[in-house]
Amino acid sequence: MADFFDGSFQGFLERDPGARFTDWLAARAEPYWSSATEHPFTRAIGDGTMPDAAYARYLIEDYTFITDLASTLGYLVAKAPGMSSKARLSAFLALLASEENDYFLRSFEALGVKPKTYETAAQGPTTRAFADLLLKSSGKGTYAEGLACLVCAEWCYLTWGLREAGKPRPEAFYLSEWIDLHALPGFEAFVTWLREEMDQVGAGLSAVEQENVAQLFRHMSALEFAFFEAAWTAETPSLPEEFQRT
């Protein structure tokens, strides 16, 4: 798909009339989209080779991010064009505040992470950049801009979650349950709806607006990769120059 990276959505459709707007977003986000969904960290979750220290780093960062994700969903609920869209987003927000929070607490205990550690943890620079882009796009941006960032985040997790769900589960419950949370039919249905919503909204945007949305999705893909990389290596990865200018 390399010949599509700098092309418009209209050009993408001319080459493949059956393509979806979200297909175009993923194509325009390469190589970052594939780097995120195929990151060694995600494969280590599935095959059970995840070092405890790396997963603890990851969970602490993700735990600090949950409130920002909830705020992002709240902004999108307010901006969603219809009641059915508001209901979908609200239902996911309710799920996020219940099932995932319980998972974090049990996993921290199993990994020996003390409450004072995760309750007082400050976001690392990669997590902060990730959260800032989501909050800015959903809070100050348009519905389409916020939706593009959310689609990227959730679709990325569904992609690797479904891949790892097709393999034998690792013994550690905090790894196997994390796979299940991102491969359950309910989560898959929500991401399917997110893509459909983005397809519909994106197709109605002007060419300039579509390009802006594509750049946001691309930036989010790079940050998804950086988030996994930071947990995997215990270092803060530098984003490519194209994102440092935004």
- Classified as helix, coil or strand, 134 is helix
CA nearest to 57, candidates 44, 46, 67:
44
> Which pLDDT value is given to residue 4?
42
pTM exceeds 0.85 for this model: yes
What residue ranges do the domains of the chain occupy? 50-235
> Which pLDDT value is given to residue 1?
42
Q: What is the pLDDT along the chain (246 residues), one digit of tens a residue?
A: 444 445 899 999 999 999 999 999 999 999 999 999 999 999 999 999 999 999 999 999 999 999 999 999 999 999 999 999 999 999 999 888 777 788 999 999 999 999 999 999 999 999 999 999 999 999 999 999 999 999 999 999 999 999 999 999 999 999 999 999 999 999 999 999 999 999 999 999 999 999 999 999 999 999 999 999 999 999 999 999 899 765
Separation of alpha carbons 182 and 178, rounded Å: 7
CATH number of 50-235: 1.20.910.10
Provide the residue type at 241 as one letter.
E
> Which pLDDT value is given to residue 5?
44
